[in-house]
Amino acid sequence: MNEITLGEGSTPLLRAPRLGERYGVEELWLKWEGANPTGSFKDRGMAVATTRAVERGVTRLVCASTGNTAASSAAYAARAGIEAVIVVPAGAIAASKLVQVRAVGGTIVEVEGSFSDAFAHAEALASEPGSTFVNSGGSEDRIEGQMTVAAEIAEQLGGAPDAVTLPYGGGGNTRAVARGFEELVSSLPALYPVEAARRPDTVASAIRITEPVHERWVHEAVERSGGSLITVTDEEILDAWKNLRALEGVFSEPASAAGIAGLAHAEHEGLVVCIVTGHGLKDPAAVGA
Ligand code: F0G
């Protein structure tokens, strides 16, 4: 097998005592996914999806994205010597993410409307010969790749944490994290996916998704885990984003701080891991807001 990799995974797990104190969490850790090659957790699944696509003779990756899947698919396609076509809702994507796509030769298609409109358009493009759909809603490979974060956290801690919080957009990552803990670690922490109250126009542009494809699985996993689904305001997200930077020196993008904002609402005890999903250089515009 010709593995298509950029060295994704094996990201830092950082103890965050100052942030923990702020949110009243006894033992808080940050899984810093911004340290991945294109700056987000998406690289884990994209490595698997691209490797398997190339094995099947695919010559074009197609996805819809709020920006990070875009940057990731374009980079892995370039690495594999194939094309990437990315459909995005016009005007809704952080500029740096589009730069990431163009820098490695990816093609951006803008559509009027929401992420769901972009998703439908991408699905149609992906049905053309030689193409494959690499959204987690259409690719089990993406989910399998993203499961690795659970095994890594357990390895770094020497066991599963008591609770995990993470941002919730389409839900693919929550689904992957749940499956990862259940299948690779045999122990499911209480899961707290955190969504933005202002879903269609939240400041957390990466999670501007009103119809999460994985909703059913997310609800089932949360139920099994004994956690809960949390909704936070944009003010809470911006506040958490600032706290994460100022108290721990971790500069994430706004959406990635949703998991931190959720700490104020999660009924957790003991050791909590927040998955901090993407790098701040991707979406710096709101700093100072
Ligand atoms: N955090 C970041 C930084 C993201 O980019 C996303 C999703 C999420 C969290 C939510 O993950 O959708 O699996 O629940 N970004 C997608 C994209 C939609 O196109 O990059 P999810």
Ligand 1 — pocket residues by CB below 6 A? Answer: 40, 42, 65-69, 167-174, 206-207, 253, 255-256, 277-278
Q: Give the ligand 1 atom nearest the CA of 146.
A: 13
How far apart (Å, rounded) are the C-alpha atoms in residues 282 and 285? 9
How would you write the pLDDT of the chain (289 residues) with one tens digit per residue? 799 999 999 999 999 999 999 999 999 999 999 999 999 999 999 999 999 999 999 999 999 999 999 999 999 999 999 999 999 999 999 999 999 999 999 999 999 999 999 999 999 999 999 999 999 998 999 999 999 999 999 999 999 999 999 999 999 999 999 999 999 999 999 999 999 999 999 999 999 999 999 999 999 999 999 999 999 999 999 999 999 999 999 999 999 999 999 999 998 789 999 999 999 999 988 787 5
For domain 42-139, the question of CATH label 3.90.190.20 is answered with no
Rounded mean pLDDT of the chain?
97
Q: Render pLDDT for 141-176 as a digit per residue (tens, 0 to 9).
A: 999 999 999 999 999 999 999 999 999 999 999 999
CATH 3.40.50.1100 domain residues, the chain: 13-41+142-288, 42-139
Q: Are 266 and 163 in contact (CB under 8 A)?
A: yes
Q: What is the DSSP string of 114-169?
A: -HHHHHHHHHHHHTSTTEEE-STTT-HHHHHHHTHHHHHHHHHHTS--SEEEEE-S
Q: Which of 11, 31, 40, 283 best tests ligand 1's pocket when mutated (most atoms within 8 Å of CB)?
A: 40
The minimum-distance atom of ligand 1 relative to the CA of 64 is 19
φ/ψ of 18, rounded to 5, equals: -70, -40
Distance separating alpha carbons of residues 230 and 193, to the nearest angstrom: 6
Q: Which CATH number fits domain 13-41+142-288: 2.60.40.420, 3.30.70.660, 3.40.50.1100, 3.40.50.10470?
A: 3.40.50.1100
Q: Give backbone dihedrals phi and psi of 13, rounded to 5 degrees, phi first.
A: -115, 115
- What stretch of H or E contains 15? strand 13-15
User: Could you tell which of 30, 61, 68, 115 is best to mutate to test the pocket of ligand 1, judged by most ligand atoms within 8 Å of the CB?
Assistant: 68
Q: Are 273 and 259 in contact (CB under 8 A)?
A: no
Pocket test for ligand 1, best of 66, 241, 276 (most atoms within 8 A of CB): 66
On the CB side of 188, CA atoms within 13 Å amount to 20
Please measure the distance between the N-terminal and C-terminal CA atoms of the chain and give it in whole angstroms. 48
Q: Cα of 260 to ligand 1 centre, how many Å?
A: 15
- Please provide the DSSP assignment of 245-275 as one string: HHHH---B-GGGGHHHHGGGT----SEEEEE
Q: For the segment 61-105, what is each residue's pLDDT rounded down to a tens digit?
A: 999 999 999 999 999 999 999 999 999 999 999 999 999 999 999
Question: For ligand 1, atom 11, which residue shows the shortest CA distance?
Answer: 169
Name the closest-CA residue to atom 4, ligand 1. 206
**Rounded distance from Cα 96 to ligand 1 centre (Å):** 15
Amino acid at 131: S
Rounded distance between C-alpha atoms, residue 9 and residue 158, angstroms: 17
Q: What angle do CA 84, 141, 65 make, to 5 degrees?
A: 40
For residue 93, report the distance from its CA to the centre of ligand 1, in Å: 12
